[in-house]
Amino acid sequence: MPTYEYECRRCGHVFERFQNITDEPVKRCPKCKGKVERLIGTGAGVIFKGSGFYSTDYRSDSYKNAAKQEKASATSKSNSTASGKTSDSSTQSKAGASAAPGKA
Ligand SMILES: [Zn+2]
């Protein structure tokens, strides 16, 4: 439910009404019962400015995430090299056992 801002044409009294879109707009000032006008655009301008700031933040954030992912893939690569070392030591002990009876 949006909040509507009204300004009285007669006494200048500004007030807000929290009402549904389907609700009838306020026509009379609660102070002097004069004609009121709905203020549109003042709040929207602030929101537009904020969303602009947010989009810049989002852009730099996604850039940081991409750099992080590159680092993570590099770490997993070095991990697979370490597991290859373990299988290398098992073949070394096998060769040593078969070489002993051949020499003697
Ligand atoms: Zn008024």
Q: What is the pLDDT of residues 67-87, one digit of tens each?
A: 777 777 777 665 555 555 555
- What mean pLDDT is predicted for residues 80-101? 58
**What is the tens place of the pLDDT at every residue in 7-29?**
999 999 999 998 888 889 899 99
Ligand 1 centroid distance, CA of 35 (Å): 7
CA of 25 from ligand 1 middle (Å) equals 15
Q: Which residue has the higher pLDDT, 65 or 6?
A: 6
- Domain annotation covers residue 7: yes
The distance between the two most distant Cα atoms of the chain, rounded to a whole number of Å, is: 118
Entry pTM? 0.39
How many structural domains comprise the chain? 1
**In a domain? residue 89:** no
Nearest C-alpha neighbor of 39 from the set 1, 74, 8, 72: 8
Could you tell me the pLDDT band of residue 66, with boundaries at 50, 70 and 90? Answer: confident
pLDDT of residue 104: 62
List CB-based neighbours of ion ligand 1 within 5 Å: 8, 10-11, 13, 29, 31-32, 34
Structural domain boundaries enclosing 21:
1-69
Evaluate whether residue 92 is within a structural domain. Answer: no
For residue 93, is it within any domain?
A: no
Within a domain: residue 99?
Answer: no
